[in-house]
Amino acid sequence: MWAIRSLRAFAPAVDAGLGARCFGTKRVRQRRRSRGRIIQLKETHYEPKPEGYQPLPLSLLASGPIRRVLATRTVEAKRLVGVIDWERYKCNVKGVRWHAVGGWRVTFDRKDHYHNFFVRCSCYFRVAIYGFERGKELAIAYRKRLEAEWDEQQRIWAELDAKREAERLKRRARAESEKAKSSDSAPSEISIF
């Protein structure tokens, strides 16, 4: 009897119909309550946004503590959300956004592949250094300055390109006139003797 038990302990276990191909896989079983149904998120009715609705900027929601305050539905969180003046953190100038570091971020990214000129700027005007309103004003002014300098550079390149094209056309006309003169001075009949 002792020998039979020891042999059974060392005998290979056979899967019930699964075979060797299912090695390392786990068989998924749904709970009986939701079996056969695909569970979706809670569906709610669509409510259109009111007229003039502006969502909070995504840059403002990049901060974890602010996101948690907005997502939490406690009484204290609702009180804090009501106290904050969200309009101060919105900026309608392209490329100027509030950043979670505690300052206004200016981004400027322009490319001119023809002239091999690339500009990428990202700078912060921190509230701790400049103050809230002054930092916002400086950020907007700096962004406008970057755009003005880019437009000026585009005008300079347009002038240089026009000048280069005019010189190229002059050289081409000169080469064609020299070619015409050389063909006029050449004899019309060429003889071997």
Distance CA 71, CA 76 (A): 12
Regarding predicted confidence, which is higher, 102 or 26? 102
Distance CA 193, CA 183 (A): 21
pLDDT in tens, 63-105: 888 888 888 889 999 999 889 888 898 899 999 999 988 899 9
Distance CA 71, CA 73 (A): 6
Question: Region 6-18: what's the mean pLDDT?
Answer: 51
Residue 95 per-residue DSSP state: T
Domain ranges of the chain: 56-90
pLDDT at 120 over 90: yes
Q: What is the pLDDT of residue 1?
A: 47
Distance CA 91, CA 96 (A): 7
Q: What is the pLDDT of residue 45?
A: 77
Is residue 97 within 8 Å of 105, Cβ to Cβ?
yes
Q: How many CB atoms lie within 10 A of CB 88?
A: 11
- Single pTM value for the model: 0.62
Q: Which two tokens stand for residue 78?
A: 């609702």
Is residue 67 within 8 Å of 61, Cβ to Cβ?
yes
Q: Is 134 helix (H, G, I), strand (E, B) or coil?
A: helix
Regarding predicted confidence, which is higher, 162 or 16? 162
